[in-house]
Structure 1
């Protein structure tokens, strides 16, 4: 287990090994009975501490064996135990129990035996026992600290896993609830609108058929109703398929886009609204969201002109720019800046579509009279 990731842990372990090597070298030089062999053993033990975090089972036997050489030969006291203590801590933190305990027992037992063999009196023997008892406490503390650190790290990892699992669960619940809500809306639309629009379409078709059968001229408004009801059924089926998430967006006919702009404008003309279309720039394939939003904006704007502008004409402009698509619908109706119309659900829906794509929408009366709707849609899609 590693608490400090990457090179930082390696650098810290290297600094630790260098500091231990320097301190123990000074201890060796200050010990009269120490020699070159002791200095070499100390340096090897200190160097092994570079591995105490990554490979504690390598550092543990090396440091224990080398420091035993120094401790048994020179008998420097507690300082000889420090590299072994670090290795015992690292092994315990890695989840090992038996090997750190054996290393501690071997080191303490060998040090105790060497100290007692060199003792010349009861006082020295007592000092040896006291020093060994002190080292025993240090070794127990190192083992306990390593075990506590291991459990703490395991707890932190489990907490992170639980948090991640809880987040995934929340997302899954949100997706499931959203899916259930989409299905509920799809059922409501199917049970209500589908029936009503079907009745309108059938009745308009019957009226057109009877008029033609009698040799009468079919009113343009009746043909517009028949065509609009057919388009409404097609778009409703597309919406239901999207809500049900069938994986076949829009079905065979596909969702409405600017490729159907001509039909949309022609249908507006059939209701008595003079409308013209101007397209500038190079036509090209648009992102699906932009294409759909552009069509809906023109559709809603023309609907508003028909409903609220009175005897007005509409001009639709589509500009294919390099970075954005500009959709503008102007009318020369009665709207003025002194008495602007009250925004309705249609304008709110336009603004939501444009905002979702990261674009800008202008919808206000014109200075010369009438109303303008201008949407600037980034071709990169949603931001």
Structure 2
């Protein structure tokens, strides 16, 4: 239950308590007045109860009325005064609450014996007044603590969402940068070869030469448009002088690096890398990289199995590691899986990560090839 709901229930409980104490004050006042309910004391008790319930009145009105009423009519009004002192202490006005209690006790020294707070127990009323103030201080501190904790939890939730959103945005920008490099390379090759062929126009038929010129112009314009569109998606915080992100690196190279670092990796590959689209190969490289990194951090020394299937109909990758001890001085977990999940989802695939039997951990992804997705009526 949230702190807001807790406060709502406490407000309903307060209403019931004040109504009960007001009725008790009217009843006790009637008992001291010979059984008559139509008295000034009864009217004052109802007025004090109303002031305690209605929050629109000034905060000092309820303590003033209950203090005056208890000073004049004694113990029948004491329960309403206790509620008022409790509220003052809960609002960090304990000194004023103590002053009201002292004033009431002083006024009752000259009150009739039948309603005096000093009868029949000399210090009984003083103890009740002290307990009301102490209880109000405790309740006020508890409310402030619960409210502060609720605000902190909400702040952490919002901060976590912002970090995940930033991670997804960064991953999308990285994908755009990598695809820009890949497609720019391919388009540059097309433009280069068509340019070379265009120099042989004297040996080529006129229609072929015209087609080559058109192809070269189109590839050059496409390369310019690609750089304008995808270039805007690059991470603005990335250093312009930083080395470019590796493009289309082989998974075998990544596994060899892990083995050189002392990690036990068993690699199984089906198919050829050329069978998968470039975007799939980039995602596959990142998935294996994240899986090996997590295995080193959370299961240091445990064997890792990497399975890769370039398809078709889909590019599939699976990284499984047995349980092991966390690595010493391991960096805290970040949002690598959040970015990878966003990358795989953008390609129309699905990623799963979690425990997988006998305490092992499994990271798996399946990304359907565009042609297969179109044949099955799926979004590529």
Whether 1:157 aligns to 2:147 is yes
Selected match of 1:69 from 56, 72, 92: 72
Taking the aligned partners of 1:345 and 1:220, their CA distance within structure 2 comes to 39
Aligned-residue offset at 1:90: 1.1
| Aligned length in residues | 257
Residue 51 of structure 1: aligned partner: 54
Partners of 1:233 and 1:145 lie apart in 2 by 74
Q: Scaled by the length of structure 1, what TM-score is found?
A: 0.52
Using a 3 Å threshold, how does the CA distance of structure 1 residues 176 and 69 change in structure 2: closer, same or farther? Answer: same
Residues 178-217 of structure 1 mapped to structure 2, 5 A cutoff: 178-191=168-181, 193-207=183-197, 209-217=198-206
Query: 1:91: how far off?
Result: 1.5
Distance across 2 between alignment mates of 1:237 and 1:83: 76
Equivalent pair of 2:83/2:132 in contact (CA under 8 Å): yes
Structure 2 gaps of 5+ residues are 237-276, 278-310, 317-342, 351-369
Query: Which residues of 2 match residues 371-382 of structure 1 at below 5 A?
Result: 372-374=375-377
Q: TM-score under structure 2 normalisation?
A: 0.53
Distance 1:33 1:185 in 2: 88
For the 8 Å contact 1:51–1:59, the answer to whether it is kept is no
| Residues 164 and 32 of structure 1, relative CA distance in 2, 3 Å threshold | closer
Tell me: CA distance 1:350–1:38, structure 2 relative to 1, closer, same or farther (3 Å): closer
Higher relative contact order (CA 8 A, sep 6+): 2
Structure 1 equivalent of residue 240 of structure 2: none
Residue 101 of structure 2 is aligned to residue 111 of structure 1: no
SS of the aligned residue for 1:128 comes to: coil
* Rg (Cα) greater in structure: 1
What does the per-residue CA deviation read over 1:48-69, in whole Å, with 9 as the maximum and x for residues that have no partner?
A: 3213797542211111112322
Matches of 2:189 and 2:18 in 1, distance apart? 87
Residue from 158, 166, 171 that aligns with 2:156: 166
Q: How far apart are the structure 1 equivalents of 2:376 and 2:89?
A: 72
In angstroms, what is the RMSD of aligned CA positions?
A: 4.6
Matched, 1:30 2:19: no
Q: 1:86 deviation in Å?
A: 0.5
The structure-2 alpha-carbon separation of the partners of 1:354 and 1:53, relative to structure 1 and needing over 3 Å to count, comes to same
1:136 — aligned with what? 126
Cα drift, residue 94 of structure 1: 2.0
Unaligned ranges ≥5, structure 1:
72-76, 120-124, 247-302, 304-340, 357-361, 366-370, 378-383
Give the Cα–Cα distance (whole angstroms) in 1 for the partners of residues 134 and 79 of structure 2. 16
Pick which of 184-193 and 162-171 moved more: 184-193
Asked if the contact 2:18–2:49 (Cα under 8 Å) also holds between the matched residues in 1, the reply is: yes
